[in-house]
Chain A
Amino acid sequence: MNQDKRIIVGVYHLNKKLGKHFSLEDINLQVANGEFVFLVGPSGAGKSTLLRLLYMDNMPDSGQIVVGPYISTRIKRNTVPSLRRMVGIVFQDFRLIEDRTVFENVALALKVTGAGMREIKRQVTDILTRVALYHKRYEFPPALSGGEQQRVAIARAVVNRPAVLLADEPTGNLDPTATKNVLELLFKVNAGGTAVLMATHDIDLVRSFGQRIIYLEEGRLVRDKEMIYTGDLRERIDDSRVSKRAERMKDLDITGGKGE
């Protein structure tokens, strides 16, 4: 029971068929409170599909997804919004509303919770300051660089302090500098206690950080951290370097990994 409490995202025997040719098969994974996890896999592996299932934009064919107190097999359609509020979501294409200012874009996430104007102003000011974009609060998204837009998107995703942040290729459209900024920001968000699950196809980008990495291929979870599910990937994925961060993460690791 005590251990369950620390799991913020749980996926159990998840199956999902999409179209004729693709399906996620028997996915099992757990993410602990405050953990940082990379979800890595080639294009078409099913990363976006898995994330979409996590914020229940799509429902499993079988199996179960548990996010905080919400369980996919029991959730009602009108409770999905509450789930979404404890999950921040960030995409490759930012998904900002173009005819609204930076401030309004971020404020929207609080407005829909019924927050008051003062509260909104305080929180948005705070988060924009933290992503170093307060001075651009009156700009419209098209006037910002890609990196700045993504920081606005992250600010919007975390302004109401979600327990989990799901990021689907958040650096996919960014140059190396902006990529670095966004990753640092995600680590910062994570340091604040939010669990982060970031999908990317760029193994090289993430393997140096020493975070837990989950590998997805053709709809199957092939490797979770150092646990190798299929042997043929061993050569390709060699990230046994241990960083200080990974050391710290070990305490949170509830996947049964033996450490590195």
Chain B
Amino acid sequence: MNLNRIRYMFGESWIMLNRRLGAAVISVFIMGLSLLILVIFLLLTLNIAVMIDRASEELRIFVYIEDGIGRDRSQEIQLSLLGMNGVEEVVFVSKSEALTTFKEALGEESDLLDALERNPLPDAYKLKMQHDMMRSDELERLAGQIEEWDGVEEVRYGEKWFERGEKFVKGFYVVDLVLGLIIFLSVIFVISNTVRLTILYRRKTIDVVKLVGAPSSYIRMPFIIEGAIQGIVAALLALGLGFLVYYFAHRYFPGITFFQLEAALLFVLFCAVLGAVVSYMAMRRFIRI
């Protein structure tokens, strides 16, 4: 790779983009808009995934302790819980704390509880699990194991809700994946057609460059670079518009997030590669010598 060659390749791409700036702008715009659909889809997926993650993050397993087993046994249980695989955090919830929480939850109706002579709620340990343990089979196995222990009355984690939630999440991801694939393919279709038009217009240029004896890399590279540049600009456009969408949606859904910088950069890189590959494929037919 000598300097003249590199200069030639970038220079040619620059000339090609520059001399037909109007057309280049239009095709980048078309690519950008179709990528915007992909961006919005990815944003939705991201935010739903974040929501799901948060929900499972908040899930706790309650290990209820039998009344009157004594402080020592209770502490033994706590230590055993801490020692278990997949348990991240163990918090003691005394029966009085539980009652307060319960009262708060009842609100106005909490007067009813004043009628009680003594607190009917048991002491409990609240377990926070590691992320990878958040599967109904793992939780079930764990709960079953703990329930066997002496002094443990019951283990609860909203099994029914959890299982339903898990099914929903699985279903969501399947639908999401299929939808994503369809959108992705449509985007590729739109982009490759746009790029193909550009290259069709350049047919004469390709013929001339062939005629004057350009090696095939000299013929291809400017187009590949042109495709990559268009991909990058279109990706930035899509991300910019996507950010606007996010910005306005944020007013109504303050909890939502935008892509991390790394993810955004990866998207741009991906679009650059996509533009280059599509451009290469589109021109392959024309450069057979």
Interface code A43-66, partner B: CB below 8 Å = 1, 0 otherwise? Answer: 000000000000101000000000
Contact partner of A111 (CB less than 8 A), chosen from B8, B19, B207, B216, is B8
Q: Please indicate the chain A residues that have their CB under 8 angstroms from the CB of B204 in the complex.
A: 95, 97-98
Contact of B212 with A114 in the complex, beta carbons under 8 Å:
no
Interface members, chain A 96-135 (any B CB < 8 Å): 96-100, 104, 108-109, 111-117
Contact of B15 with A81 in the complex, beta carbons under 8 Å:
no
Q: Most chain-A Cβ atoms within 10 A of its Cβ — which of B2, B11, B19, B216?
A: B19
Check if A156 is an interface residue, CB within 8 A of chain B.
yes
Contact of A97 with B212 in the complex, beta carbons under 8 Å:
no
Contact partner of B207 (CB less than 8 A), chosen from A77, A85, A95, A113, is A95
Check if A78 is an interface residue, CB within 8 A of chain B.
yes
Contact of A97 with B208 in the complex, beta carbons under 8 Å:
yes
Q: Most chain-B Cβ atoms within 10 A of its Cβ — which of A78, A82, A111, A116?
A: A111
Q: Most chain-A Cβ atoms within 10 A of its Cβ — which of B208, B209, B218?
A: B208
- Residue pairs across A and B with CB atoms within 8 Å: the count is 62
Q: Please indicate the chain A residues that have their CB under 8 angstroms from the CB of B216 in the complex.
A: 78, 81
CB-nearest residue of chain A to B211: A89
CA distance A111 to B213 in the complex (A): 10
Q: Please indicate the chain B residues that have their CB under 8 angstroms from the CB of A237 in the complex.
A: none
Query: Interface size on A (CB < 8 Å)?
Result: 29
Check if A84 is an interface residue, CB within 8 A of chain B.
yes
Q: Please indicate the chain A residues that have their CB under 8 angstroms from the CB of B19 in the complex.
A: 99-100
Contact of A156 with B5 in the complex, beta carbons under 8 Å:
no
Check if B145 is an interface residue, CB within 8 A of chain A.
no
Check if B210 is an interface residue, CB within 8 A of chain A.
yes
Check if A83 is an interface residue, CB within 8 A of chain B.
yes
Contact of B289 with A112 in the complex, beta carbons under 8 Å:
no
Contact of A112 with B2 in the complex, beta carbons under 8 Å:
no
Known: A77-B289, A80-B289. A156 touches B212 (CB 8 A): yes
Known: A111-B8, A112-B8. A81 touches B215 (CB 8 A): yes
Contact of A104 with B212 in the complex, beta carbons under 8 Å:
no
Contact partner of B20 (CB less than 8 A), chosen from A84, A95, A99, A112, is A99
Q: Please indicate the chain A residues that have their CB under 8 angstroms from the CB of B12 in the complex.
A: 111
Q: Please indicate the chain A residues that have their CB under 8 angstroms from the CB of B211 in the complex.
A: 55, 84, 89, 95
Check if B249 is an interface residue, CB within 8 A of chain A.
no
CA distance A205 to B33 in the complex (A): 58
What is the CB-to-nearest-CB distance from B210 to chain A, in angstroms, rounded to a whole number? 7
**Could you list 21 A-B pairs, sorted by A, with CB under 8 Å?**
A57-B289, A78-B215, A80-B289, A81-B289, A82-B213, A85-B213, A95-B211, A97-B204, A97-B205, A97-B208, A99-B19, A109-B213, A111-B4, A111-B11, A111-B12, A112-B213, A112-B218, A114-B2, A114-B4, A115-B4, A156-B212
Q: Could you tell me which A residues sit within 8 Å of B by CB distance? A: 55, 57, 77-78, 80-85, 87, 89, 95-100, 104, 108-109, 111-117, 156
